[in-house]
Chains A and B, each alone.
Chain A
Amino acid sequence: MSVLLPEDPTPIAKVPSTENKTGGWRTFRPVIHYEKCIRCYICWKFCPDAAIYFASPDAHAAPKEALSKFDTVEINYDFCKGCGICANECPAKAIELVLEESAEGDEE
């Protein structure tokens, strides 16, 4: 006697959660002031949403010549929930939290 099994017997979650744009949760938007950014990547290190990524060194002007060979960082506003850990931990105070309504249209 043959046993009929569904084609995919075990339900395996295959859709990456990046389909889920959590940026809509945000009340405060972190904005990086690149003229102060010392490229230490502390914001990248502590981001609970892994929403900060590296960009090429010349994407933004560096405050000092010596820093201009290092990668810079950008925030992915599709996923940033606006918790503000990056702004709180930034040693150069280069990240400012702006109320989302007033920031609308400024970035992106």
Chain B
Amino acid sequence: MMKKLTIPEEEHMLSGHTACLGCGATIAMRYVLKALGKNTILSIPACCWAVIPGVYPHRTLDVPLLYTAFEVTGAAISGIREALDAMGKEDVNVVGFAGDGGTADIGLQALSAAMERGHNVFYIMYDNEAYMNTGIQRSGSTPMGAWTTTTPGGKKRMYKWEPKKNVAEIMVAHNIPYVATATIAYPEDMIAKLKRAKEIKGPKFFQILSPCPTGWRHPPDKTVEISRLAVQTNMFPLYEVINGKYKISIKPKNPKPVKEYLRLQGRFRHLTEDEIEMIQKNVDENWKALLKKERCSQEE
């Protein structure tokens, strides 16, 4: 029995769950549990992961899981943490695992309060860029130019044109010890970040880009490829912020044009060349701003 693995072999997510084909969120959960291990308690609000484990009495995860209402993940994990601390069980990881709607829109106040109070918890936002569980409605985290069922197209061009809400930056503004972005195409990077965060006491926030074949309108076998392209085009930069100091994890030497990322997905197929140009400009500006932040925060 010999194998060379780059990520832990332990498996705490069982087969037989009810996620769609090629679901990015299940890959994210698999890596999170591989990194944090069995000594973990999860709390999940209404999101795709509320239905993926299947109906009662089925379970998909090897760890205790508490379902909560949509807006209270932050409050639920604060409560679990304080109860465990009162019982003297300080080595248990408490994780809130919520979608982008439950983080960027509906759950933002509970999340903000939990981060501000400084509980020793993980909050993981798996970002599939819309309310996928209820049928692809626009969320604050939906990117510019995307089609969703509540921002449909037509003669008047009604697609979403507001920029994506940057939740990682909102969390940096809370002055918490650890904020990171990750994506499923780079599991080694994601697991290293989770293990680093495990050693830090205090609130930790992760934003994990998880492509959704159903909502992004791409073939299920392209999930990992699209996730990789998001990083290579600088659409979704991978970085971490430890005590206010930025560190970019992957700096593509020759970033690919954003068009390659957009053209693989049906939700962007209506975009004209001018509109792609506009999105490219936006991505370039954000990337430059991030490089500046890294430079400024590393200086004394």
Contact = CB atoms under 8 A, between A and B. Distances in A.
Interface residues of B, number: 39
A71 B2 CA distance: 6
Contact of A17 (B2, B14, B23, B219): B14
Contacts of A46: 27, 184, 187, 224
Contacts of B16: 16-22, 49, 79
Interface residues of A, number: 38
B221 A18 contact: no
Interface stretch (B53-61, B104-112, B252-260): B53-61
A41 B260 CA distance: 27
B59 A88 contact: no
B5 interface: yes
A15 interface: yes
A84 B58 contact: no
B26 A71 contact: no
Interface class of chain B by DSSP: loop
B202 interface: no
A18 B59 contact: no
B221 A88 contact: yes
A31 interface: no
Given A45-B7, A46-B27, A84 B1 contact: no
A88 B21 CA distance: 14
Contacts of B30: 48, 50
A62 to B, nearest CB: 12
Contacts of A57: 1-2
A48 B26 contact: yes
A53 B224 CA distance: 19
Nearest to A72: B3
A87 B184 CA distance: 17
B156 interface: no
B278 to A, nearest CB: 30
A48 B11 CA distance: 12
B223 A17 contact: no
Contacts, number: 114
B18 A20 contact: yes
Contact of B223 (A50, A71, A83, A97): A83
Contacts of B219: 84
Interface string B199-215: 00000000000000100
Contacts of B19: 48-49
A17 to B, nearest CB: 4
B17 A49 contact: yes
A3 interface: no
A57 B223 CA distance: 30
Contacts of A51: 15
B22 A85 contact: yes
Contact of A50 (B2, B15, B225): B15
A70 interface: yes
Contacts of A78: 15
Given A48-B24, A48-B30, A22 B18 contact: yes
A16 B224 CA distance: 27
Given A46-B187, A84-B220, 6 more contacts: A13-B56, A39-B3, A48-B26, A48-B30, A49-B15, A85-B224
Nearest 6 Cβ contacts at the A-B interface: A84-B221, A83-B22, A79-B15, A17-B16, A83-B21, A83-B220
Interface of A: 11, 13-22, 25, 39, 41, 45-46, 48-51, 54, 56-57, 69-71, 76, 78-79, 81-85, 87-89, 97
Interface of B: 1-7, 11, 13-19, 21-24, 26-27, 30, 53-54, 56-60, 184, 187, 213, 219-225
7 contacts: A17-B18, A48-B223, A49-B19, A49-B26, A54-B3, A76-B15, A83-B21
